[in-house]
Chain A
Amino acid sequence: GQQVMQIPQYQHVQEGEDFTTYCNSSTTLSNIQWYKQRPGGHPVFLIQLVKSGEVKKQKRLTFQFGEAKKNSSLHITATQTTDVGTYFCAGGNTPLVFGKGTRLSVIA
């Protein structure tokens, strides 16, 4: 079946540093979704990208969808302690295929 690979698995940063997580698929994706799960919580939808080469921003978060629609990235500028959690990408097929997530720790 389709797989969505996500790297890195863990990332520890000092508060104020930038953070990036990458998502790759072996097949073309119709869309990509990103979710955030706080420790002890449930995943919460952040954004969806649909178009080839699409870039969307939410405050300090920048989301990109590759030209070939096989990869995506989430970049956080100047991390804060509130950014702590696990970030998941999910490939847009029915049913949705989730990556294993990147766990972000922010050291104050």
Chain B
Amino acid sequence: DGGITQSPKYLFRKEGQNVTLSCEQNLNHDAMYWYRQDPGQGLRLIYYSQIVNDFQKGDIAEGYSVSREKKESFPLTVTSAQKNPTAFYLCASTLQGTYNQPQHFGDGTRLSIL
């Protein structure tokens, strides 16, 4: 079955530590997205990539970094500069990076601070 795989499901970060969240898709989709979800805040866009080796900042990119070296993979690093990283992180993809494409989501990663 095609889909999006996010790992790990749960992640704990110590202060001053960088952590990387994995997102892999086998849907052959061009575009991939990272969202942060906090209670009552909906989905806020962190970064998105419409094509390999290119990505753009979303609304809340500060304290995060991404890479898109392969079409299938779009890892997100939560750096120590992100002072409030506790949240539910969702990765999504679309067939193309245009506005009329349904988004397919992974199961998410819950990040907490130790």
Contact with A along B1-45 (1 / 0, CB 8 A): 000000000000000000000000000000001010000111111
Known contacts A88-B42, A100-B41, A101-B42: A94-B102 contact under CB 8 Å: no
Known contacts A30-B99, A95-B58, A101-B42: A42-B106 contact under CB 8 Å: yes
- When C-beta atoms are compared, the residue in chain B nearest to A41 turns out to be B107
Cα distance A36–B66 when bound, in Å?
27
| A:45-101 near B, CB below 8 Å | 45, 48, 50, 88, 90, 92-96, 98-101
Most B-side CB within 10 Å, residue of A30, A50, A94 = A94
| Chain A residues, CB < 8 A from B40 | 9, 100
Question: Is there an interface contact between B42 and A98, defined as CB atoms closer than 8 Å?
Answer: yes
Contact with A along B55-84 (1 / 0, CB 8 A): 010110000000000000000000000000
Question: Is there an interface contact between B102 and A48, defined as CB atoms closer than 8 Å?
Answer: yes
Cα distance A10–B31 when bound, in Å?
32
| B:77-111 near A, CB below 8 Å | 90, 97-100, 102-108
The 3 closest A-B pairs by CB, nearest first: A100-B42, A45-B102, A42-B105
Residues of B at under 8 Å CB distance from A? 33, 35, 40-45, 48, 50, 56, 58-59, 90, 97-100, 102-108
Besides A41-B107, A44-B105, A93-B99, 20 other CB < 8 A contacts?
A: A30-B99, A30-B100, A33-B103, A42-B105, A42-B106, A42-B108, A48-B100, A48-B102, A50-B100, A88-B42, A92-B99, A92-B100, A94-B99, A95-B33, A95-B56, A96-B45, A96-B99, A98-B43, A100-B42, A101-B42
Residues of A at under 8 Å CB distance from B? 1, 6, 9, 30-31, 33, 35, 41-45, 48, 50, 88, 90, 92-96, 98-101
Can you list 9 pairs linking A and B with CB atoms under 8 Å apart?
A31-B100, A42-B107, A43-B43, A48-B100, A50-B100, A90-B103, A96-B99, A98-B35, A98-B43
